[in-house]
């Protein structure tokens, strides 16, 4: 911010911005406020509510009055602050994503919330709340045109090319596969708990149980009871899936992926419309996921890691804020292949890569890990049940043997499937890794995106002459998966790490 | 690639550091356990303290032997770890910025730690401890000399 101190931003927010500032604040306190209003014993609750709102309203209006933004010669300039003034300049070339979010209220009033992110990681650099649609378009055009000089801008390829559009049928499939219904249930539970509903329902349930035919239920016999329990479970699972389908239909409604020059644009949402920009040069790797249910429907999910989305920033609080960057929440494997080629233009996807297996003893080692794990769990359960005074039953030797047998069969099955489906490949321009036993994943990272390469070996690895190779890229959070190949033969691991490290030579020699 | 060890003076730095840490732990343990009396506790403390000192004496040279680095046209490779071994390879084009830092003990023995920062998400900082301070500066300059690309 050394230069252009004389540039003064002049553009203002939309006149109704205070409404949204107030709304965000209220949303954070909605549950206590409602609880206060409904369950509050005082009958002057409304007065108190108004007393809280007035200073908030004044604050929001004041903030809107002082907020200015403008397109400086080098960057976007934002001036804000009630007491502590802040002048922020974000240089155009550094701006990675401009995400536009429009809730129901936004859409009624024809405005949008815009967040601007750079590659710093974590939280958005600036959130402009709110702008009219014309101002949003203006902002997007100004930033992206100034950020990139002539060639891409002047090119006639600025037409939007639709790459993927998800009809409701696909969204229903996605809802069935994905288990977001759980989130809705969890949110509902949290809300009810906070609102104090449980206390009431527990009392009413107690009354209901007393009066109703619980004695009949007890007389039904074990088969009927088990049947009822099963029916209850099935109903629960079905409800969850239905909720999940509903959730998918609402949040991902009209999912459209388009290409606009060097940008991929994603738009989706029924109530809240989201418009996200993924800049192709910033894509670090592509992840394809295929769970059991995906395979049942013949579909896969595809997402990307963007530079700047990694939450390696020191505060670490913003990790949950990083949203999944979908390329396609659901698509056919053929579509996935085409999309991958678009997202990673540097990688040649023409031929099938030369897939390589793990070390020959990997299966035994995985199985042995399962054996240790099963033994430990069996011992822990047995001990716990014997120590607990009111344990439902005390496992004897037969039980332990049966448990171990089941676990070991599962363990062998897992090891076998994992080793059979885990492969890696090195092409002149990319490193590919697919792994997993039930849920199968594929990660593709272009070799010009590698930050560092690590070769590790634990004492156990060394005993079996094995080693692990992992790569680091600028995208993805520290928690998400990356290419980390375990159980490689030591010599091959060394060679692979060396080739990856010297990637620029391979790429140049092509 | 030719790899080399760092400055052996770092062994003394590590010994001092571990000794100070051990001393603090020992003090805390003594303060909490001794009032309960019993010669059993006292002798246990002495045995633990002595074995700690032995470990502090023997571990740094072992760790030192396994800490190696090598520089070539592509970048730098750092090897470390006695039981869990790790080689980390970093192309010089990926180095965002560097630090050469020195604590008070390190200044006393004339060594420094070279810190290399990348734009990665896991290994954002890669450390090479124990270089003689002038060597650390020289290595930093050599690594930065040719890196001109953007690094992402």
Q: In this model, does residue A360 exceed pLDDT 60?
A: yes
Beta strands in B54-150 (DSSP E): 68-71, 75-80, 85-91, 97-101, 111-117, 125-132
* B121/A500 touch (CB, cutoff 8 Å), yes or no: no
What value does the mean pLDDT take over residues B16-33? 89
Give the whole-angstrom CA distance, residue A71 versus residue A142: 7
DSSP codes joined into one string, B22-68: HHHHHHHHHHHHGGG--HHHHHHHHHHHHHHHHHHHHHHHHHHHT-E
Residues B13, B106 contacting (CB under 8 angstroms) = yes
Measured over the CA atoms of residue A128, residue A131, residue A135 and residue A141, the dihedral's sign is positive
Q: Where are the alpha helices (DSSP H) in A67-179?
A: 104-109, 133-147, 150-154, 168-177
Q: In this model, does residue A220 exceed pLDDT 80?
A: no
Q: Scan for tokens 């200015």, then name that residue.
A: A68
Residues A447, A485 contacting (CB under 8 angstroms) = no
What value does the mean pLDDT take over residues A395-403? 83
Q: How far is B70 from chain A (nearest CA, A)?
A: 13
Q: In this model, does residue A315 exceed pLDDT 50?
A: no
In sequence order, the 6+-apart residues with CB closer than 8 A to the CB of A398 are: none
The predicted structure's pLDDT at residue A320: 39
Does residue A42 sit in helix, strand or coil?
coil
Residues A370, A287 contacting (CB under 8 angstroms) = no
The predicted structure's pLDDT at residue A2: 43
Does residue A474 sit in helix, strand or coil?
coil
Question: Which residue of B79, B120, B125, B146 is the best one to mutate when testing the A interface, meaning the one whose CB has the most A CBs within 10 A?
Answer: B120
Give the whole-angstrom CA distance, residue A280 versus residue A324: 16
Please report which confidence band the pLDDT of residue B97 belongs to, taking 50, 70 and 90 as the band edges.
confident
Cα angle vertex A474, ends A427, A332, to 5°? 55
Per the structure block, which two tokens stand in for A279?
């800049």
Per the structure block, which two tokens stand in for A231?
């029916």
Per the structure block, which two tokens stand in for A303?
């997402």
Please report which confidence band the pLDDT of residue A322 belongs to, taking 50, 70 and 90 as the band edges.
low
- Report the interhelical angle of A222-251 vs A168-177 (nearest 10°): 130
Beta strands in A300-342 (DSSP E): 300-306, 326-331
* B152/A307 touch (CB, cutoff 8 Å), yes or no: yes
* Contact list, B121 vs chain A (CB under 8 Å): 310, 312, 472-478, 482
Q: How far is A477 from chain B (nearest CA, A)?
A: 6
The predicted structure's pLDDT at residue A238: 87
Give the whole-angstrom CA distance, residue A76 versus residue A178: 39
Burial class of A48 by CB neighbour count within 10 A (0 to 12, 13 to 18, 19+):
middle
DSSP codes joined into one string, A339-391: HHHHH-TTS--SSPP--B---TTHHHHHHHHHHHHHHHHHHHHHHHHHH-TT-
Please report which confidence band the pLDDT of residue A321 belongs to, taking 50, 70 and 90 as the band edges.
very low
Q: Which residue has the higher pLDDT, A400 or A44?
A: A400
Q: In this model, does residue A343 exceed pLDDT 90?
A: yes
What value does the mean pLDDT take over residues A308-335? 66
Q: How far is B85 from chain A (nearest CA, A)?
A: 5
Q: Which residue has the higher pLDDT, A205 or A95?
A: A95
* A452/B124 touch (CB, cutoff 8 Å), yes or no: no
The predicted structure's pLDDT at residue B35: 74
* B123/A451 touch (CB, cutoff 8 Å), yes or no: yes
Q: How far is B87 from chain A (nearest CA, A)?
A: 5
Locate the chain B residue with the closest alpha carbon to A476. B121
What value does the mean pLDDT take over residues B36-56? 84
The predicted structure's pLDDT at residue A416: 94
What value does the mean pLDDT take over residues A23-48? 65
In sequence order, the 6+-apart residues with CB closer than 8 A to the CB of A429 are: A346, A347, A348, A446, A447, A448, A506, A507, A510
Residue B128 pairs with which residues in a beta bridge? B114
Q: In this model, does residue A240 exceed pLDDT 60?
A: yes
Q: How far is B22 from chain A (nearest CA, A)?
A: 26
Beta strands in A188-325 (DSSP E): 256-260, 263-268, 273-279, 283-290, 300-306
* Contact list, A307 vs chain B (CB under 8 Å): 119, 152
Per the structure block, which two tokens stand in for A272?
């809240």
First to last CA, chain A: 42
| Sheet architecture: strand order including B4-5 | A484-489, A466-472, A452-457, B85-91, B75-80, B68-71, B4-5
Give the whole-angstrom CA distance, residue B111 versus residue B6: 9
Measured over the CA atoms of residue A167, residue A168, residue A169 and residue A173, the dihedral's sign is positive
Instruction: Average the pLDDT over each of A33-42, A51-60, B72-81 and give the range with the smallest value.
Output: A33-42
A39-94 per-position pLDDT tens digit: 555 556 567 767 777 888 888 888 888 888 988 888 888 888 777 778 888 888 77
Cα A483 to Cα A414, A444, A447, A472, A490, distances in angstroms: 20, 8, 12, 8, 17
* B93/A504 touch (CB, cutoff 8 Å), yes or no: yes
For A505-508, which contacts have Cβ atoms below 8 Å and span 24 or more sequence positions? Answer: A505/B74, A506/A428, A506/A429, A506/A447, A507/A428, A507/A429, A507/A447, A507/A448
What value does the mean pLDDT take over residues B113-142? 90
Phi then psi dihedrals of residue A30, to 5 deg: -60, -45
What value does the mean pLDDT take over residues B40-50? 84
Please report which confidence band the pLDDT of residue A263 belongs to, taking 50, 70 and 90 as the band edges.
confident
Averaged pLDDT of chain A: 82
Q: Report DSSP state, residue A323.
A: P
Question: A-contacting residues of B 111-140, CB under 8 Å?
Answer: 118-124, 126
- Report the interhelical angle of A181-195 vs A222-251 (nearest 10°): 100
Residues A477, A284 contacting (CB under 8 angstroms) = no
Per the structure block, which two tokens stand in for A452?
């560092």
| Sheet architecture: strand order including A75-80 | A68-71, A75-80, A86-91
Which residue among A472, A500, A503 places its CB closest to the CB of B121?
Answer: A472
Q: Which residue has the higher pLDDT, A3 or B113?
A: B113
SS3 content of chain A, % helix, strand, coil (to 5): 50, 25, 25
Chain A touched by B73 (CB under 8 Å)? no
Give the whole-angstrom CA distance, residue A283 versus residue A327: 11
According to the per-residue pLDDT averaged within each range, which of A119-133, A138-152, A157-171, B107-121 is highest? B107-121
How many cross-chain Cβ pairs, A to B, lie less than 8 Å apart?
Answer: 86
The predicted structure's pLDDT at residue B43: 84
Q: Which residue has the higher pLDDT, A393 or A268?
A: A268
What whole-number percentage of chain A has pLDDT above 70? 79
Q: Which residue has the higher pLDDT, A146 or A281?
A: A281
The predicted structure's pLDDT at residue A37: 61
């Amino acid at each position: 911010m050394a230069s252009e101190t004389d540039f003064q931003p002049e553009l203002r927010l939309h006149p109704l911005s205070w409404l949204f500032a107030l709304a965000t604040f209220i949303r954070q306190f909605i549950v206590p406020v409602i609880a206060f209003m409904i369950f509050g014993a005082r009958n002057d609750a409304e007065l108190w509510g108004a007393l809280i709102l007035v200073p908030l309203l004044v604050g929001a209006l004041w903030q809107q009055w002082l907020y200015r933004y403008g397109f400086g010669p080098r960057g976007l300039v934002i001036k804000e602050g009630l007491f502590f003034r802040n002048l922020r300049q974000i240089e155009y070339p550094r701006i990675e994503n401009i995400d536009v979010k429009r809730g129901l209220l936004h859409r009624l009033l024809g405005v949008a919330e815009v967040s601007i992110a750079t590659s710093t990681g974590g939280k958005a650099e600036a959130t402009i709340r709110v702008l009219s649609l014309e101002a949003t378009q203006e902002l997007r055009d100004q930033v992206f045109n100034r950020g990139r000089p002539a060639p891409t801008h002047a090119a006639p390829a600025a037409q939007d090319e639709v790459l993927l559009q998800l009809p409701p049928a696909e969204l229903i499939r996605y809802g069935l596969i994905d288990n977001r219904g759980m989130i809705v249930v969890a949110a509902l539970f949290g809300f009810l708990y906070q609102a104090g509903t449980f206390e009431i329902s527990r009392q009413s349930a107690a009354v209901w149980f007393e009066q109703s035919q619980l004695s009949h239920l007890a007389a039904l016999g074990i088969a009927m009871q088990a049947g009822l329990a099963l029916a209850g479970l099935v109903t629960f699972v079905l409800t969850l899936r239905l909720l999940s389908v509903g959730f998918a239909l609402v949040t991902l409604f009209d999912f459209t992926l388009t290409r606009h020059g060097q940008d991929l644009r994603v738009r989706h949402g029924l109530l809240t419309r989201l418009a996200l920009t993924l800049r192709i040069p910033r894509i670090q790797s592509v992840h394809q996921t295929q769970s059991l249910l995906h395979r049942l429907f013949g579909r896969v999910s595809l997402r990307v890691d963007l530079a700047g989305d990694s939450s390696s920033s020191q505060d670490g609080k913003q990790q949950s804020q990083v949203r999944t960057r979908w390329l396609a929440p659901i698509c056919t494997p053929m579509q996935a292949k085409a999309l991958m080629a678009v997202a990673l233009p540097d990688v040649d996807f023409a031929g099938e890569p030369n897939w390589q297996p793990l070390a020959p003893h990997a299966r035994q080692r995985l199985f042995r890990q399962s054996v240790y794990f099963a033994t430990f769990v069996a011992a822990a359960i047995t001990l716990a049940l014997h120590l607990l005074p009111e344990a439902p039953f005390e496992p004897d030797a037969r039980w332990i043997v049966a448990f171990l047998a089941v676990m070991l069969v599962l363990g062998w099955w897992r090891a076998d499937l994992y080793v059979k489906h885990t492969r890696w490949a090195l092409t002149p321009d990319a490193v590919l890794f697919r792994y997993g036993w039930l849920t199968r994943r594929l990660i593709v990272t272009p070799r010009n995106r590698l930050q560092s390469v690590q070769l590790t070996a634990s004492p156990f690895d060394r005993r079996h002459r094995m080693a692990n190779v992992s790569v680091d890229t600028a995208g993805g959070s520290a928690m998400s998966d990356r290419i980390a190949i375990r159980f490689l033969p030591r010599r091959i691991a060394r060679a692979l790490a060396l080739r990856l490290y010297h990637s620029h030579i391979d790429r140049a020699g092509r | 690639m030719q790899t080399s060890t760092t400055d052996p003076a770092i062994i003394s730095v590590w010994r001092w550091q571990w000794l100070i840490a051990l001393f603090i732990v020992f003090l805390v343990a003594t303060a909490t356990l001794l009032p309960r009396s019993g010669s059993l506790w006292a002798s246990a403390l002495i045995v633990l303290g002595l074995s700690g000192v032995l470990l502090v004496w023997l571990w740094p040279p072992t760790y030192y032997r396994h800490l190696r680095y090598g520089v070539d046209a592509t970048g730098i490779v750092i090897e470390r770890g006695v039981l869990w071994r790790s080689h980390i390879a970093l192309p010089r084009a990926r180095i965002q910025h560097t630090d050469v830092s020195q604590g008070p003990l390190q200044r006393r023995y004339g060594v420094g730690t070279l810190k290399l920062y990348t734009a990665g998400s896991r290994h954002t900082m890669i450390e090479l401890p124990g270089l003689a301070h002038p060597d650390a500066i020289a290595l930093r300059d050599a690594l930065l000399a040719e890196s001109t690309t953007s690094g992402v």
